[in-house]
Amino acid sequence: MKRLLMVALGTSGVLASCTTSGSVPYEAVNLTGVQYTSNWSYTDANGQTQYVICDNRDTTVTMNVTWTGPLARLDALFEGATTQRAPVVKTTGDFAPDYSGQDTFTYTFAPGLVPLAVGKGSSALRAQAIVVNPVNRGTSFVSVRGYNPNGLQSNTVQVPQGIPVYNCG
């Protein structure tokens, strides 16, 4: 009986040492692309259409982001190129690891480039092509970075050439 009790205690000690401590290590996330649209667009004299941020109107910017690995948070830094406004960082906050490799994220700005909201997924707002008669105010450069579930930061991807900012008529 004593021997059986000692075997049982020894076995429970071995099993107790098999428990995990800490979190499960996740692979790194790598951002592979960022493209944007907006609910405002401008067609120049050459017939080229570009999406813009209207500095004097509510504007929704939708970013299509692609990645590899488990994305669990996305941060976007909006930085004005010619204004004295402070850079603005918007984050999705943490979400369940997403291995899909593609999703949309929306950022809504009030007049004056103040972010109002951020959204993720297919239920987020979609862009509309509204033609405006704008006055160029500058450019807002956007840098995007992701994080895996362990908080490991990805590479940083910039929106090529920034997003033009206009006063819209």
What is the Cα–Cα distance from 160 to 8, expressed in whole angstroms?
Answer: 65
Which amino acid is it at 36? Y
Residue 114 has pLDDT above 50, yes or no: no
Please write the tens of the pLDDT for every residue from 58-97: 999 999 999 999 999 999 988 876 656 677 788 889 999 9
Higher pLDDT pick, 31 / 124? 31
> What does the block give as tokens for 74?
């996305």
- pLDDT for 133 equals 56
Pairing status of strand 49-54 against strand 163-168 = parallel
Q: What is the dihedral of CA 6, 12, 15, 20, to 10 degrees?
A: -140
Domains and CATH numbers, the chain: 24-168 (2.60.40)
Interacting residues of 153 by C-beta distance below 8 A, sequence separation 6+: 145, 146, 147
Quick one: which H or E segment has residue 11? helix 2-16
Residue 119 has pLDDT above 50, yes or no: no
Q: Looking at the chain, which runs of residues are DSSP E strands?
A: 30-38, 40-43, 49-54, 59-68, 73-80, 88-91, 102-110, 114-120, 134-147, 153-158, 163-168
Higher pLDDT pick, 113 / 46? 46
Residue 17 has pLDDT above 60, yes or no: no
Q: What angle do CA 89, 92, 97 make, to 5 degrees?
A: 135
